[in-house]
Structure 1
Amino acid sequence: MHGFKKFIMRGNVIDLAVAFVMGAAFVAVMNSLVSDLLTPLIAAIFGKQDFSALTFTVNGSVFRYGAFINALISFVLIATALYFFVVAPLNAVADRRRRKAGLPVLDEPPTELELLTQMRDLLREAPRR
């Protein structure tokens, strides 16, 4: 029992639990944003909010392609909202912090080859023992 308690109280397990709960809460917020705000906005523009009734039948099998369209629209709206409301603002904050610290703003992360080249150059410059 002591080993289990030690395992549970390790920082990474607690961090993972907190991240899971926060992720679940964030999913609810994003779903509400899409279903309560963005989807009605799309419906106001295009005149149709729910495509789940769209189907076709082949040899007695019903294909509900409207449900797929709903899922696809929901995915695109969630990805768009996530980018513009979370990713872009956090990137702007990170860039502002880098500028304040006097560091260059990174447009794109360095490639593996660039990192290896930098490591090689730093090793060459290091004093020999």
Structure 2
Amino acid sequence: MLKDFKEFIAKGNVIDLAVAVIIGAAFATIVSSLTDEIIMPVVGAIFGGADFSNYFILLNTPDGYEGSPTDYAALKEAGAAMIGYGAFITAIINFVILAFIIFVMVRYVKKLTAKEEAAAPPAGPSEVDLLTEIRDLLKK
């Protein structure tokens, strides 16, 4: 069983997949930073707030909470019931940006592979064609 596992891990597809997952996670962090640090402050400024992720609807405060009812982080830490629509919208924007970048990358790779296939020399005759030609020559 250990030998089979080693063979499975040594296959190129598994290694490629592992590398893709690691790079994807790092890339998602970059996109998240782009969204949180550049895009969402602009969106927040347009809608009148400096930090869009702090937009929420407070449903109820926990018993004994004496902090500010507008402090999202403190309310979340205290366990208040809230609908954090700003954080949700930020996550949606993260997803759309990431999906668009992946779409552009896949499209680019498809174009490259199409050019390589078009540039490849045409394949020679098939085995059947060659055998037919040899047979015909032998008959003559």
TM-score, with normalisation over the residues of structure 1?
0.57
Partner of 2:98 in structure 1? Answer: 82
Aligned partners of 1:52, 1:43: CA distance in 2, in Å? 9
Structure showing greater Rg: 2
Which of 74, 87, 91 is equivalent to 1:71?
87
Distance 2:105 2:9 in 1: 34
Quote how far apart the aligned CAs of 1:45 are.
Answer: 1.0
* RMSD, aligned α-carbons: 3.4
Q: Which residue of 2 aligns with 1:22?
A: 23
Contact 2:58–2:80, Cα closer than 8 Å, also in 1: yes
Q: How many pairs are equivalent?
A: 100
Gaps of 5+ in 2: 64-78, 119-140
Q: % of aligned pairs identical?
A: 29
Unmatched 5+ residue regions in structure 1? Answer: 103-129
2:58 to 55, 58, 61: 55
> Which structure would you say has the larger RCO, counting Cα contacts within 8 Å and 6 or more residues apart?
2
